[in-house]
Chains A and B, each alone.
Chain A
């Protein structure tokens, strides 16, 4: 027996030693990949003229190892396994291929227009030229590019756009549910021309022109023929329609599925992609493969970025600057110095209007001005956020376009940058909110002010921020303790006004909208519009239950307003209301997408002042106009 154990032990030790002698990380081996063969097919078109169309059929590449210099590696976008490839589904967890949002991800499926968060404009993708409103501002017309075609070689037509909309409505997809209150119909005037009719209010005016226009850059066009195949397969059942895995889907974008399992997902370039036409990009995107290894957490992703196994990182890399400052790695961010990226959303602490004493402006303002925001930004965000001295608080994100939308001087006297302990104390004293029983905590109407500040457990940057909020309370004599429920519990409570208790969730963190074609209007609406106050299943905003009819009126008027001066005045008024009433307060700025790149293999990534025109935004070369960045990449060692 002893001998047996000895032999087994020696065997294991030998295995370890042999393993140690192995090649470290798997070396990249460049191997010959089958070159796609060009096959000429003759397609008979059932019209009077028989047309001959050349179709390049892309041979499926077969490979065991992806050539490193043909593959662009990502992290931070795909968490967990890909579930399906159905662009009508919102549940595919297929982040790299299917993410319809303000800046939609257009690697596999495409939108008519691409939103650029840097200049706030949209640029045509499937569309041919700009869209136009009619004089009454009730209809949008746009054309489809003649060169645009699907992966099966058939052209993208206006009928595809119309049928996609009809399917979105019929099967109650997210796009349909989201836009049905704003868009009346989308029809094909002719094979190249699309007509979008808005829903009109009682006065015959468009209900919301911003939302109508946003549809064009936020939602995919899906092939009519494939949609009909899907309908036939699922028998018209809406649930089955949206739950179909859609392995046979037809796409129009530059990449499609190559491989997916629980550890990674890989997309391969479609060398027959229509976008190489001179009317769009004029060439194919540089990487042949887009690969996303599925990391289990940010730490693993950060190690892979440092190791050169990731080229584009869309995740929070704590203290990202040490990668180039301390380790000399060829890693960089969009901006070379703090805040390293462009802030787009406003993680915000909401006051629960039900909580005792939080209906008092003095209490809300005292807490807000006492918080040490610089510490939050340094600790929670490792300086990957602009400070409030750099970008004064408002309802706008730090992008230049949004900052120009309100009058900074008009609200200057309402601003605060934080850590104003004495100011906060004075405010409370003046309001008669003092420590009357000598226990060190202030009372309001004889009742001690004691609150719980909360955010989901494990959201480490938010937890660090909430701790700073609690510390501010102690400094000004208001007891604030912290509590971190699991996300599954937390979100159930804060999104349901009836479930939100009057204690335990007094100050809680949630997010705001980022950058997009409906912003900053959409963000402001979500932060303070009373249409979301005291509602259930509220995933939009105003979770604290703030109500202000004056603000509502301005929010309602903005979408129909086209005069820039009036718009600026309206936004300034809203900022004034927000900074005066303080129903919630922003704790930091957060980028739309984190964007750190490792230039060991590829170079030419978007950076500030990189000379691109229009500027390519730091959205990981996949979202909205940032996909233009894929066409600018070159190899470090060609």
Chain B
């Protein structure tokens, strides 16, 4: 147990160091981008304004309000104080809307789209990959090319194909939005059904691409494991195929689990392509606009959430690995 504690503490220290570094970078990097966010805002709010001194006055107002002219260190201290109180500040691009409000209103769309898509893509992909490795022959010959073909599709290409075929052509699914264009959110079966129907195209545009990649990875790992010595030895021992396959998949699954954890960690970054093509609500497009408009508070808050989720996911995976595969713990504890 002492080994586990050392391993855990070691990982915890690295987790904290990485978090501090990421926190500082999340603050600094957006501010190192060339360009002036206040100029972007000034342009937006002074459209039609004839007076040059007026435009200058508006610029000065916002520069003062957002504190962008203050020294970086002063801004950072203020940022830390705010974050400590759970306050990510006011968005530049959607002023006077608080960043927390922007994220709260869109993050659930993203999580509800991404999480099931990642899980389903992962499950189906790994199942198909493992079956291809195990069954070989015809199944593998069909699955492999199809998987390679589909997984290499650019995300926007898949989304557009689904949109054109199932949305515009066959009219099976709506082409845009998170729910009916003629509805407002309410608690009713009609609304729920509308949400489900609108969910389909963005969901499958993510899942289909994920399936191919996962299947290829799992197939390779399974083939490697199926030829491992312990499999041959188990067969000589007369152990049932079903039992052996269980061992094989468990070992082949390890790298796939890491991939899954990372995918879940980064999922709040949003499914940008699906969001844009299907005008689906979510955090991805909001973040893109934040980056384009140099909305420092929004970028910092969103990247901080992504950082925390990725770090937490990898930390948990590393801890779990210590239990699942003692060799890893042993190697890292030395």
Contact = CB atoms under 8 A, between A and B. Distances in A.
A241 B204 CA distance: 46
Interface string B52-87: 111111110100010000000000000000000000
Contacts of A202: none
A547 B141 CA distance: 72
Contacts of A488: 33-37, 40, 292-294
Interface in B133-192: 163, 166-168, 171-186, 188, 190-191
B172 A532 contact: no
Interface string B288-318: 0100111000000000000000000000000
Contacts of B275: 296
Contact of B177 (A8, A83, A293, A531): A293
B135 to A, nearest CB: 11
A172 to B, nearest CB: 7
Nearest to B276: A296
B35 A64 contact: no
Interface stretch (A259-267, A385-393, A567-575): A259-267
Given A101-B47, A294-B279, A9 B94 contact: no
Given A178-B49, A178-B54, A16 B200 contact: yes
Interface in A474-497: 486-489, 491-492, 495-496
B180 A26 contact: yes
Contacts of A180: 51, 54
A26 B182 contact: yes
B127 A9 contact: yes
A75 to B, nearest CB: 10
B220 interface: no
A471 to B, nearest CB: 28
Contact of A263 (B36, B58, B178): B178
Nearest to A11: B120
Interface string A34-47: 00000000000000
Contacts of B37: 488
A540 B48 CA distance: 8
A12 B279 contact: no
A537 B252 CA distance: 59
A23 to B, nearest CB: 7
B50 A540 contact: yes
B319 interface: no
A537 B39 contact: yes
B35 A486 contact: yes
Q: Which of A181, A211, A532 has the most CB of B within 10 A?
A: A181
B56 A536 contact: yes
A382 interface: no
Interface string B10-51: 000000000000000000000001111101111111111111
Q: Which of A64, A68, A266 has the most CB of B within 10 A?
A: A64
Contact of A304 (B34, B181, B292): B181
A247 interface: no
Interface string A528-540: 0001100111111
B211 to A, nearest CB: 10
Interface in B188-244: 188, 190-191, 193-194, 196-197, 200, 204
B88 interface: no
Contacts, number: 232
B332 interface: no
Given A177-B51, A261-B185, A293-B176, A300 B277 contact: yes
Nearest to A211: B50
Contacts of B293: 488
A64 B61 contact: no
B100 interface: no
A535 B54 CA distance: 13
A239 B34 CA distance: 27
Contacts of A6: 127
A19 interface: yes
A603 to B, nearest CB: 19
A263 B281 contact: yes
Contacts of A1: 246, 249
Interface residues of B, number: 85
B96 A91 contact: yes
A206 to B, nearest CB: 15
B262 interface: no
Interface in A176-214: 177-181, 211
Nearest to A73: B181
A537 B55 contact: yes
A303 B105 contact: no
A297 interface: yes
B197 A492 contact: no
A311 B246 CA distance: 58
B181 A264 contact: yes
B55 A539 contact: yes
Given A71-B182, A491-B39, A174 B45 contact: yes
B292 A174 contact: no
Interface in A296-348: 296-297, 299-300, 303-304, 306-307, 309
Nearest to B171: A24
Contact of A177 (B58, B105, B179, B184): B58
A29 B185 CA distance: 15
Given A177-B49, A211-B50, A262-B105, A245 B96 contact: yes
A102 interface: yes
Interface in A78-114: 80-81, 83-84, 89-91, 93, 100-102
B97 interface: yes
Interface string A387-429: 0000000000000000000000000000000000000000000
Interface in A101-150: 101-102
A66 interface: yes
Contact of A174 (B54, B94, B106, B176): B54
Given A81-B94, A83-B96, A259-B184, A539 B279 contact: no
B111 interface: no
A278 interface: no
B278 interface: yes
B170 to A, nearest CB: 8
Given A488-B293, A495-B43, A63 B184 contact: yes
A49 interface: no
Contacts of B42: 537, 539
A100 B39 CA distance: 20
A17 to B, nearest CB: 11
B7 interface: no
A370 to B, nearest CB: 31
Contacts of B59: 537
Given A8-B123, A64-B183, A539 B46 contact: yes
A26 B197 contact: yes
Nearest to A101: B48
A28 interface: yes
A19 B200 contact: yes
A532 B54 CA distance: 13
A293 B172 contact: no
A624 to B, nearest CB: 13
Interface of B: 33-37, 39-59, 61, 65, 93-97, 102, 105-106, 109, 120, 123-124, 126-127, 163, 166-168, 171-186, 188, 190-191, 193-194, 196-197, 200, 204, 245-246, 249, 275-279, 281, 285, 289, 292-294
28 contacts: A5-B127, A16-B204, A22-B197, A24-B171, A24-B173, A26-B179, A26-B197, A65-B180, A65-B182, A83-B96, A91-B45, A174-B58, A177-B53, A177-B57, A178-B48, A293-B181, A296-B276, A297-B279, A300-B175, A303-B163, A304-B176, A488-B292, A492-B40, A495-B43, A518-B50, A537-B55, A539-B49, A540-B55
Given A177-B58, A261-B185, 16 more contacts: A2-B127, A5-B126, A9-B123, A20-B200, A26-B181, A26-B183, A65-B180, A81-B97, A90-B45, A177-B51, A262-B109, A295-B176, A296-B275, A300-B176, A304-B175, A489-B33
The 6 closest A-B pairs by CB, nearest first: A26-B180, A177-B54, A243-B96, A488-B35, A90-B45, A5-B127
